[in-house]
Amino acid sequence: MRFEKIEYLPALLLLVIHVLLFFFLLRWKKKTRDRIGDATLVEQLVKNFSPSRFRVKFVLLALAFAAIIIGAANLQEPGGMENVSRRGVDVMFVLDVSKSMLAEDVKPSRLEKAKQLLDRLTDKLDNDRLGLVLFAGRSYLQMPLTTDHGATKMYIRNSSPEVVPTQGTVIGEALRMANTSFNSKERKYKAIVLISDGEDHDPEALQVAKDLADSGVMINTVGIGSPEGSIIIDPATHEEKKDEQGNTVISKLNEAELEQLANATNGRYLRLDNMDDAVITMSQQLDSIEKKSLTDSQFIDFKSYFQWFLAAAVMLLMVEFFLSERRGQLSANAGKGKNDTAKTGLLLAVSLTAGLMGLAPSACFAQTENGLIRSGNRYYKQKQIDASQQQYQQALQQSPENPTANYNMGNARFRKNDFDQAVQSYDASIAKTEDKALKEKGYYNKGVALGKQQKLEESIEAYKNALKLNPSDKEARDNLQKALLEEKKKKQEQEQKNKQDQKDKQDQKDKKDKKDTPKKQDQKDQKNQKNLPDQPKPPVSKLNKQQVEQLLQALQQREKEVQEKMNQNKVKSLTQPDKDW
């Protein structure tokens, strides 16, 4: 059982005030009786008054008030379990928790960034069974394959080097441990997501990967860290980690090994630079694997009991109104006359009854709206996007300004690659909500959708708005930086293109001018030659044989000198590096 609107329950504290006022009224009545002094007179005045009925009326009012509050909070229970058939694969997360993963060349640290990736990837793999293996110098099966993604997230968040006391990086053993969770009779539907910095080269890892490939396992690897490396702060001493010679350890990303493992199993390697790109790329890679039918049990929509509490409140108020404080009378209106108090009480009861009767349909309406949203969320998790959109649309027809329905509709449209409509839905959610967290998520998702449309300026503005609401959102900050770099690159490419266009136009003009100039000059020369007398022919050179031989020797000597200089330059160039970048 649960309360849908638990924030209404503190209103029950008002009952304390109600009780205090009741005892204050009893005390006031006693003092009034004492001031009159004449006991016989007092007894005559209150002979028809029933103290027990007065207390009963108080209890009825208190119970009615409590029923109204509980009805507004909407007590619910799960409507039962149902078997849900889905198509998915078995995915084992293999996470490196060695001390090298504490390096901070990736903020906040390699390990924390890896945990963030797995947490978000878990949300994407709605229909898949997930498991977790942690490894360092030894490997441990932290969680077998399960559809309980909440438990998966809990184990991922609690992962740390303390879980594995033996330090090192034994990737081969971790892969074998992950493979034991798969069904050995199946040769497909199986995948491993390995996240590591690959710090130590494990000679057995490649052979293990090939064996797993023969069993139908696809290994996808994620490298985290930088090739330049970073120091490691030992959590035990809070000092820089040293090697045996006393030198500061620099942990570097070993991409070569991780790429080999992925290639050996037709998997994919990616380096974790941008979180959004990594989540999308890896989820698409896993989605490409042939899927099998999985059966899972889950709760259907919750059953609400608010209407019973509201009905009880109405009945209690009606009984309280018709119950008289006088002995032998049913109603406060019975007897010879109707006083003003009775009229006021009647009006109050009618007003409360009408209000509660009006509240019940509206509560039913709200519950139907929330039920549609929950139903849409269930379809969304099962990747039945069209069905989820229909549910969200029905919820929006009932309440067009519902921020949650608009936000979820935006997510569904984003999954359908309808980015323009998704932006409109996010804008509607942002405009209609006062929830800071929901508004920040709306701005963030809007930025991603605009980025997909290459609307960089608008995307940058959306990320800035998200960071104003949540300055600690690392992913929004990374995406903002990436969008700014893309915008700068786009502007530079446009400037280069403009310069190249101008240069091409100038070259064409110069080429045309050069082509026209000789032609005009030839025409001019031909025209002038017609008006000139014949020019004398140059005299024929008369050289004897000895002079010709001397001239040839001089030319040969000159050619020899040129050849020697060329050889010298050639030898000199061999000492220069092959690449100058």
The strand pairing partners of 88, in sequence order, are: 292
* Percent of the chain scoring above 90 in pLDDT: 13
pLDDT tier for residue 539 given thresholds of 50, 70 and 90: very low
Domain co-membership, 99 together with 229: yes
pLDDT digits (tens, 9 = 90+) for 115-150: 999 999 998 887 788 999 998 888 888 888 888 788
Q: State the Cα–Cα distance between residues 469 and 437, nearest whole angstrom.
A: 8
Domain co-membership, 180 together with 254: yes
Instruction: Note whether residue 3 is domain-resident.
Output: yes
> 513, 539, 562: which is the final residue of a domain?
513
Domain co-membership, 275 together with 127: yes
Residue 167 has pLDDT above 90, yes or no: no
Q: What is the mean pLDDT of residues 148-166?
A: 83
Q: What is the mean pLDDT of residues 532-546?
A: 47
pLDDT digits (tens, 9 = 90+) for 371-417: 788 888 888 877 788 888 888 888 888 888 888 889 999 999 998 88
Instruction: Note whether residue 549 is domain-resident.
Output: no
pLDDT of residue 483: 84
pLDDT digits (tens, 9 = 90+) for 446-491: 999 998 888 888 999 998 998 888 887 878 888 888 888 888 888 8
Domain co-membership, 319 together with 407: no
Owning domain of residue 52: 1-80+304-331
> 242, 276, 297: which is the final residue of a domain?
297
CATH code, domain with 447? 1.25.40.10
Q: State the Cα–Cα distance between residues 446 and 423, nearest whole angstrom.
A: 5
Domain co-membership, 114 together with 57: no
Q: What is the mean pLDDT of residues 43-67?
A: 80
Instruction: Note whether residue 552 is domain-resident.
Output: no
pLDDT digits (tens, 9 = 90+) for 221-260: 999 988 888 888 877 777 888 777 778 888 888 888 899 8
CB 356 within 8 A of CB 309: no
Q: Among 128-132, 286-290, 491-495, 558-562, name the one with the lowest average pLDDT.
A: 558-562
Domain co-membership, 139 together with 56: no
Domain co-membership, 102 together with 235: yes
The strand pairing partners of 102, in sequence order, are: none
Q: Which residue has the higher pLDDT, 327 or 168?
A: 168
Q: State the Cα–Cα distance between residues 389 and 382, nearest whole angstrom.
A: 13
Q: State the Cα–Cα distance between residues 9 and 7, nearest whole angstrom.
A: 6
Instruction: Note whether residue 339 is domain-resident.
Output: no
> 460, 479, 513: which is the final residue of a domain?
513
Instruction: Note whether residue 351 is domain-resident.
Output: no
- What is the longest distance spanned by two Cα atoms in the chain? 172
Instruction: Note whether residue 264 is domain-resident.
Output: yes
Pairing of strands 269-271, 217-223: parallel
Q: State the Cα–Cα distance between residues 64 and 335, nearest whole angstrom.
A: 27
Read off the tokens for 171. 């990737």
CB 408 within 8 A of CB 392: yes
Domain co-membership, 315 together with 248: no
pLDDT of residue 339: 45
Residue 542 has pLDDT above 80, yes or no: no
Instruction: Note whether residue 221 is domain-resident.
Output: yes
Domain co-membership, 96 together with 148: yes
CATH code, domain with 172? 3.40.50.410
pLDDT tier for residue 165 given thresholds of 50, 70 and 90: confident
Domain co-membership, 311 together with 281: no
| Ramachandran assignment for 541, one of left (phi > 0), alpha (psi -120 to 50 degrees), beta (any other) | beta
Residue 201 has pLDDT above 90, yes or no: no
Instruction: Note whether residue 577 is domain-resident.
Output: no
Domain co-membership, 98 together with 75: no
First to last CA, the chain: 68
Look at the chain and report how many structural domains it folds into.
3
pTM of the full predicted structure? Answer: 0.44
How many Cα atoms sit within 13 Å of 556 on the Cβ side?
6
Pairing of strands 81-88, 75-78: unpaired
Contacts of 420 (CB under 8 A, 6+ apart): 453
* Percent of the chain scoring above 70 in pLDDT: 73
Instruction: Give the three-class secondary structure for 86.
Output: strand
pLDDT digits (tens, 9 = 90+) for 478-524: 888 888 888 888 888 888 888 887 877 777 777 776 666 655 555 55
pLDDT digits (tens, 9 = 90+) for 332-377: 444 444 444 444 444 444 454 445 444 444 444 444 677 788 888 8
pLDDT tier for residue 538 given thresholds of 50, 70 and 90: very low
CB 222 within 8 A of CB 193: yes
Domain co-membership, 293 together with 310: no
Instruction: Give the three-class secondary structure for 2.
Output: strand
